[in-house]
Structure 1
């Protein structure tokens, strides 16, 4: 798999029926290693190891309803009160992040009301802080580290 713009992490891999799987520490299972999954797993480890978010507050690949449509988010980080701190949208490295990617995560956030948004293709990372009063987001250099 391609080298990404994240620190280097050690992953567990498994090969079965000529398919490589990677262990997801959040879902506690092996998942097929696709380019987007490679980015998602790096991002999960970044949130845990660099940003110090507890594993117990991170959720991966869950379904949500947006305007009666079933969608799946990549990563959500909760606050201890159950509200949502961060939504992460992961794309494969070959996908160029454009306005439609931000529109997608903004639509998800109409339902989830996260304080922060992150969009990454593993090469380029974009971070935003939501301003709900003005109904807009502001770009940041990074997302904050976990604080209790």
Structure 2
């Protein structure tokens, strides 16, 4: 797998049916290592190690119903209150981040109502803070770290 634009993290790998798998600390199991999964695992470790989000407040690859269609989000970070703080959309490094990607996460956010959005292909990261009052998102350089005082 190629180097991504994240700090280095210690990952656990194993061969699973002659394919490489990576251990997901949230799902607590080995997941087939695809380019998108490589990005997703970096995001998980970024949120835990750099943003201090407790593991128990993270959720990975779960179903979301949008207009009766079943979709899967990549990563959600919750606040202790149960409100969704962050939704993350991961793409493989070879996939360009386009308006379509932002449209996708915006559709997911109609349901999740997160405070922040993150879109990444592992090389480029985009962070947004939702402004529900003015019905827009504002781009940020980074997302704030988790803090017990802010929750």
- With the length of structure 1 as denominator, give the TM-score of the two structures: 0.99
CA RMSD of aligned residues (A): 0.5
The CA deviation at 1:109 is: 0.3
Runs of 4+ in 1 over 6 A off after TM superposition: none
Which blocks of at least 5 consecutive residues in structure 2 are unaligned?
none
How many residues were matched structurally?
148
The CA deviation at 1:135 is: 1.0
The CA deviation at 1:23 is: 0.1
Which blocks of at least 5 consecutive residues in structure 1 are unaligned?
none
**Distance (Å, rounded) in 2 between the aligned partners of 1:89 and 1:142:** 15
1:77 aligns with 2:72: no
**Distance (Å, rounded) in 1 between the aligned partners of 2:51 and 2:44:** 10
**Distance (Å, rounded) in 2 between the aligned partners of 1:80 and 1:10:** 27
**Distance (Å, rounded) in 2 between the aligned partners of 1:136 and 1:69:** 24
The CA deviation at 1:134 is: 1.2
Q: Which residue of 1 aligns with 2:33?
A: 33
1:96 aligns with 2:92: no
Q: Within 5 Å, which residues of 2 pair with 1:1-148? A: 1-148=1-148
**Distance (Å, rounded) in 2 between the aligned partners of 1:144 and 1:124:** 18
Could you say what secondary structure the match of 1:139 adopts?
strand
Could you say what secondary structure the match of 1:10 adopts?
coil
